[in-house]
A and B are shown apart, each in its own frame.
Chain A
Amino acid sequence: EIVMTQSPDTLSVSPGDRATLSCRASQSVNSKVAWYQQKLGQAPRLLIYDASARATGIPARFSGSGSGTEFTLTISSLQSEDFAVYYCQQYNQWKTFGQGTKVEIK
């Protein structure tokens, strides 16, 4: 099973600042990585797929990068509605998720 490890577990950021979230795969997953946002009490929402493609309706402040085993989700200027938990997922071999990174207000 491919293990996805996210870092950090919690990220404290001020509104308007840049946030950088990392995700590492235990073996190469090519570019088969998606990122999701989950707010408390809500279902996850797809942000990014194929490592860097933004899903429909996702603001341009969200961007994804990486390939192989190292991936990054960047939120260029955090808005109040962006404070949430973020998950990465690989779909190169079956489907597995990272443990999540909580982005909280500093």
Chain B
Amino acid sequence: EVQLVETGGGLVQPGGSLRLSCAASGFPFGSFWMSWVRQAPGKGLEWVGNLKPDGSYKQYVDSVKGRFTISRDNAKNSLYLQMDSLRDEDTAIYYCATDDVSGYFSDWGQGALVTVSS
């Protein structure tokens, strides 16, 4: 059974940083593209970015480019999201998800809440 467990969420001030982790199990993590998707409170879904299985290629939505960095450690079956220069509008639940090579999201974690507020 595929399991994705996000940790590291919390309250951070505007301009601050936070690092999310996603622990994966139940599938060959090192063979899968992985994505982060976020959802602001009461709002819809927004794809944040993704990362190739070997970590050599990554993509980001324009609103986070230059501020967020996705990385992975295949030996630890883990995905990360480093978030810097956080803004109020980054407040959301952040989900990690398996990213089929075609581009849809097959499996999702339960999400981690990030609140950016002073």
* Of B59, B103, B108, the contact of A32 (CB 8 Å cutoff): B103
Chain A interface, DSSP helix/strand/loop, else mixed: loop
* Contact residues on B (Cβ < 8 Å of other chain), bracket: 20 to 34
Chain B interface, DSSP helix/strand/loop, else mixed: strand
| Residues of chain B having any CB pair with chain A under 8 Å | 35, 37, 44-47, 59, 61, 95, 100, 102-111
Q: Is A34 an interface residue (CB 8 A)?
A: yes
How near does chain A come to B88, taking the closest CB pair, in angstroms? 21
Quick one: given A43-B95, A43-B109, A43-B111, are A49 and B44 in contact (CB under 8 Å)?
no
Quick one: given A43-B95, A43-B108, A43-B110, are A99 and B44 in contact (CB under 8 Å)?
yes
Whether the pair B106, A91 counts as a contact (CB closer than 8 A) is no
Quick one: given A43-B111, A44-B45, are A50 and B106 in contact (CB under 8 Å)?
no
